[in-house]
Amino acid sequence: MLEARKKHARFLFLFIFPAFIIYTVFMLLPILNSMKYSLYTGDGLIPTEFVGLDNYVRLFTEERYSVKFWNAFRNNIKFFVIVTLIQNVMGFFMAVMVSRSFKGNKFMRKLSFLPTTLSVLVVGYIFKLILNPYYGVFDKFLEMIGLESLILPWLGDPRTAIYVVAIAVSWQFFGESVLFYTSGIDGIPESIMEAARIDGASIWQEIYHIILPSVLPIVGIVTILIFIGDFTQFDIIFAMTGTRGDPGYSTDLFGSLFYRTAFASSERGGWGTGMGATVATMMFLIVTVGVGIFLYFFSKKREELEK
């Protein structure tokens, strides 16, 4: 028996080792190493001069850094709030409808997930072209139905651009929320729904007292996934408003800020590797703290509901 255990131990190691090493070295360690680089400064690709927390001090006190950082922070929160409202709130009600039994219900489930499978880059480009002021189909459509007064320079106006970008992302990932919520609703035992209906519960009562409590953990998962995705989102900005988050940095998110500061030349907004790593570390902190807050909030809510 002991012999067999020893043999197992060897294979245990052999089987786990390759996946463990690749995953650790190329996924987890790079984040830790980037934190290390944030403590160094230098002109080359690899910063060599140790400066302690100086990069952080400069990020928050020197205007050329701090203005961009807080701008991206504000934009990112705005972006996250819009996407969450659309995907979580509208997505939830859509899921309630999709999960009813009706003709074509299977087809709708399949179709709703389709946009999620596309590349974010392509979705960004499609929306950019559709909203183009010269040949975009959307403005032409508004003209056709007599609503040309509503036409705006969608991506050209700093006041509207961030909303447009957030809607494009929501269009793409809406189906993912719908899929998650419908699978939660499918999991509710039919007998409970049936009993509620016999007692004459309205659809709103059914939603509030039965559906919402049982999908609440999924609301938590969806919110956290959106949060992580949005605070590292880059592709949609690259496609729709460029790496500087045009117009006038009004759509600059952390993802595009990180790209510019870490990987662009200094003429194009680069801040050097040390400073880029500092931005990455701050993003990691924000994401971790945010996820922690959401986990705490949703587990509290869950306890309340289970009482």
Partner 1 sequence: MINIKRTAQRGGLYLTMILYALTIVIPLFVMIMTSFKTNAEIFRNPFGLPSSFNIDAYVNLFVISNYEKYFLNSIGVTILSLGIAVTLSALAAYAISKYKFKYNRAIYIYFVLGLVVPIKLGTIDIMITMLRLTVYDTLWALIIVYIAMAIPLSVFVLYDYIKMVPEELSSAARIDGCSEPGIFARVITPLIKPGLAAAGIISFIPNWNEFWFPLVLIKSKDNYTIPLATGQLFGQFDTKLNLVFAVLSLATIPVIVIYLLLSNYFVKGLSAGAVKG
Look-up of token digits 């909203």: 131
d(CA 189, CA 212): 14
Stretch that binds partner 1, among 61-69, 77-85, 154-162, 219-227 (CB under 8 A): 219-227
Among 83, 250, 251, 255, binds partner 1 (CB under 8 A): 255
Rule CB under 8 A: say whether 117 interacts with partner 1.
yes
Give the dihedral sign, CA 229/77/63/56.
negative
The continuous run of DSSP H or E covering 49 comes out as: strand 49-50
Span of 66-74, 79-87, 191-199, 223-231 interacting with partner 1 by CB under 8 A? 223-231
Residue of the chain from 40, 154, 155, 176 that contacts partner 1 (CB under 8 A): 176
Per CB under 8 A, 297 contacts partner 1: no
Stretch that binds partner 1, among 54-62, 63-71, 79-87, 183-191 (CB under 8 A): 183-191
Interface with partner 1, residue 293, by CB under 8 A: no
* Least distance from partner 1 to the Cβ atom of residue 167, Å: 11
Q: Where are the beta strands (DSSP E) in the chain?
A: 40-41, 49-50
Shortest distance in whole angstroms from residue 112 CB to partner 1: 7
Residue 45 CA to its chain's centroid (Å): 29
Interface positions, 58-87, toward partner 1 (CB under 8 A): none
State the binding string over 8-47 for partner 1 (x if CB under 8 A, else -).
xx-xx--xx-xxx-xx-xxxxxxx-xx--x-------xx-
Task: Give the span between the Cα atoms of 178 and 95, in whole angstroms.
Answer: 5
How many CB atoms neighbour CB 207 within 10 A? 16
Residue 84 identity:
T
Q: Give me the long-range contacts of 263-268 (CB less than 8 A, separation at least 24).
A: 268/243
User: Cα–Cα distance between 64 and 58 in angstroms, integer?
Assistant: 9
CA–CA distance, 257 with 249 (Å, rounded to integer):
10
Quick one: which segment of 67-75, 145-153, 158-166, 172-180 binds partner 1 (CB under 8 A)?
172-180
Q: Does the protein bind partner 1 through residue 299 (CB under 8 A)? A: no
295 binds partner 1 (CB under 8 A): no
Is the CB of 119 or the CB of 159 nearer to partner 1? 119
